């Protein structure tokens, strides 16, 4: 066992996929560093194509980086992938369960793949069905499950062998708000009561803000900002003041009025909406409203908000955050091998010649993939 307080470490990870027709390939990772303290929920946040899933695949032995190092609980991912696979659970971006089997059957199969005997596998399945509130649907085919139920089963499958680090790649994408809230509670419970280290990727700023004790914002294959959600937000000094002005106001005049006030700065105007920053938004509002009133442009509405992760995101990536729900253009793990132009030699990676995997088989846990060989 290691005395390193970090359960996951990655240093300078680089990965370029070779893609036919794209000269030089597609760079997915370019010097990604992360260190995840044991027992926390760590969020990797970033836009489409930032490299989040590739980072997870490297850390979970499903693909090899071109450069860099990675360790799970002090075990080298590249040198000892089999040992690493015992330490981790993976819930991939797409479900890894078999829709034509029941939840219980999926869990038992998974347990057997990890080498448990029949009786132990059945007991572990029953325990997890209970733990994840799946007992009622345990003997129904997975294809009849709702999205949220299916995702809970995915998490249960990732935990069968009692890993110490759980990787969740977009655990709540596509879930309705109720199922998402339930999943959040579950994830919090895993890291809290169960002491697991959870690494999750997400498109949802709110999710990252709420769940993750520490965050890394990933853009173009590396981490552009990291810290606790509060630290990141704290870097944006003050509050955001948003105003809605009557139609017909002249932007230049609004700007002149607001920029003359010492209590606000960074005035941005978009149509009738105006936003500015202030060290103390609530205190600045009366002066702002009075100045606009005097200038004959009384504000129709005003709100004061603490900086959000959205603001943080804008600052570090130069773009507004626009989550893209329900995408169906996801790469599955097996396709890596073909597009890479080489076969990954991580033992968990799928063999060549499996060009059209059934969707449900596309992103299982490493053990499931290995068993599919
Ligand atoms: N198997 C692959 N073959 C070729 N290119 C790939 C493959 N997987 C990912 N890429 C490319 O690598 C880059 C990073 O992709 P990755 O899936 O890691 O991003 P992501 O942050 O997980 O995105 P998303 O939020 O959409 O899931 C993208 O440009 C993507 O198109
Ligand atoms: Mg992804």
Greatest Cα-to-Cα distance within the chain, rounded to the nearest angstrom:
80
Which residue from 21, 26, 45, 357 has its CB within 8 A of the most atoms of ligand 1, so it is best to mutate?
Answer: 26
Asked if 147 contacts 176 with a C-beta cutoff of 8 angstroms, the reply is yes
Instruction: Answer yes or no: is pLDDT of 325 > 80.
Output: no
Q: What's this model's pTM, rounded to 2 decimal places?
A: 0.77
State phi, psi for 249 to the nearest 5 degrees: -75, 150
Comparing 104-118, 149-163, 297-311, the range with the smallest average pLDDT is 297-311
Q: Which of 20, 44, 54, 172, when mutated, tests ligand 1's pocket best, judged by the most ligand atoms within 8 Å of its CB?
A: 54
Per the model's pLDDT, the better-predicted residue between 45 and 362 turns out to be: 45
pLDDT at residue 8, rounded to an integer:
98
Ligand 2 centre to CA of 51 (Å) is 7
Where is mean pLDDT largest: 67-81, 193-207, 321-335?
Answer: 67-81
Q: What is the mean pLDDT of the chain?
A: 84
Q: What is the pLDDT of residues 136-188, one digit of tens each?
A: 999 999 999 998 999 999 999 999 999 999 999 999 988 888 889 989 999 99
**Residue among 58, 218, 331 whose CB has most ligand 1 atoms within 8 A, to mutate:** 331
**Mean pLDDT over residues 352-371, rounded?**
34
What is the pLDDT at residue 346? 35
pLDDT confidence bin for 314, thresholds 50/70/90? confident
What is the chain's percent helix, strand, coil content, to nearest 5?
A: 35, 25, 40
pLDDT attached to residue 359: 31
348 phi and psi, to 5 degrees?
Answer: -75, -15
Residue 364 has pLDDT above 90, yes or no: no
323 pLDDT band (50/70/90 cuts)?
low
Write phi, then psi, for 351 (nearest 5 degrees). Answer: -75, 160
> Around 238, how many Cα atoms within 13 Å sit in the side-chain half-sphere?
17
Q: Which ligand is closest in space to the CA of residue 333?
A: 1
User: HEC states along 58-97?
Assistant: HHCCCCCCCEEEEEECCEECCCCHHHHHHHEEEECCCCCC
Q: How far is CA 186 from CA 34, 75, 180, 271, 356, in A?
A: 24, 27, 10, 42, 33
- Closest residue by Cα to atom 1, ligand 1, is 336
Return the pLDDT at 322.
Answer: 63
State the number of CA atoms in the 13 A half-sphere of 5 facing the CB: 2
Region 258-270: mean pLDDT is 90
Give 70's pLDDT tier (boundaries 50, 70, 90).
very high
Higher-scoring residue by pLDDT: 366, 237: 237
Distance CA 366, CA 352 (A): 16
**Alpha-carbon gap, residue 307 to 202, rounded angstroms:** 19
Counting ligands in written order, which one lies closest to the CA of residue 340? 1
Average pLDDT over residues 257-271: 90
Lining ligand 1 with CB less than 6 A are: 17, 19, 26, 28, 46, 48-54, 93, 331, 335-336, 339
Lowest mean pLDDT among 36-45, 189-198, 325-334, 349-358: 349-358
Which bound ligand lies closest to the C-alpha atom of 204? 1
| CA-based torsion, 82, 88, 91, 96: positive or negative | positive
Share of the chain above pLDDT 90, in %: 60
Q: Partners of 42 in the beta sheet?
A: 199, 214
Note the pLDDT of residue 1.
53
Q: How far is the CA of 91 from the centre of ligand 1 (A)?
A: 17
């Amino acid at each position: 066992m290691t005395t390193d307080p970090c359960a996951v470490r990655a240093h300078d990870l680089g990965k370029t996929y070779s893609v036919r027709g794209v000269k030089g390939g597609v760079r997915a990772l370019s010097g990604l560093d992360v260190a995840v303290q044991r027992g926390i929920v760590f969020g990797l946040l970033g836009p489409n194509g930032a490299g989040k899933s590739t980072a997870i695949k490297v850390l979970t032995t499903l693909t090899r980086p071109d450069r860099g190092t990675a360790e799970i609980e002090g075990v080298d991912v590249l040198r000892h992938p089999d040992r690493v696979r015992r330490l981790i659970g993976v819930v991939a971006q797409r479900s890894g369960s078999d829709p034509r089997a029941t939840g219980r059957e999926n869990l038992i199969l998974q347990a057997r793949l990890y080498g448990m005997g029949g009786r132990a596998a059945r007991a572990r399945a029953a325990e997890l069905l209970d733990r994840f509130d799946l007992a009622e649907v345990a003997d129904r085919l997975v294809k009849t499950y709702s999205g949220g139920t299916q995702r809970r089963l995915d998490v249960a499958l990732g935990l069968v062998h009692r890993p110490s680090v759980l990787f969740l790649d977009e655990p709540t994408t596509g879930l309705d708000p109720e199922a998402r809230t339930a999943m959040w509670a579950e994830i919090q419970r895993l890291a809290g009561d169960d002491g697991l280290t959870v690494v999750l990727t997400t498109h949802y700023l709110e999710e990252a803000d709420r769940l993750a004790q520490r965050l890394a914002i990933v853009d173009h294959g590396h981490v552009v900002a990291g810290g606790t959600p509060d630290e990141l937000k704290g870097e944006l000094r003050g509050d955001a003041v948003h105003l809605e002005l009557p139609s017909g106001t002249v932007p230049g005049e609004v700007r002149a009025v607001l920029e003359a006030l010492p209590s606000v700065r960074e005035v941005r105007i978009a149509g009738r909406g105006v936003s500015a920053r202030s060290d103390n938004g609530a205190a600045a509002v009366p002066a702002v409203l009075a100045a606009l009133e005097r200038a004959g442009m009384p504000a129709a509405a005003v709100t004061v908000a603490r900086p959000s992760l959205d603001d943080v995101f804008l600052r570090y990536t130069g773009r507004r955050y626009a989550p893209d729900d329900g995408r169906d253009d996801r790469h599955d793990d097996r396709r890596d091998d073909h597009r890479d132009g080489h076969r990954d030699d991580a033992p968990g990676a799928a063999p060549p010649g499996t060009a059209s995997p059934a969707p449900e088989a596309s992103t299982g846990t490493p053990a499931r993939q290995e068993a599919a060989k």
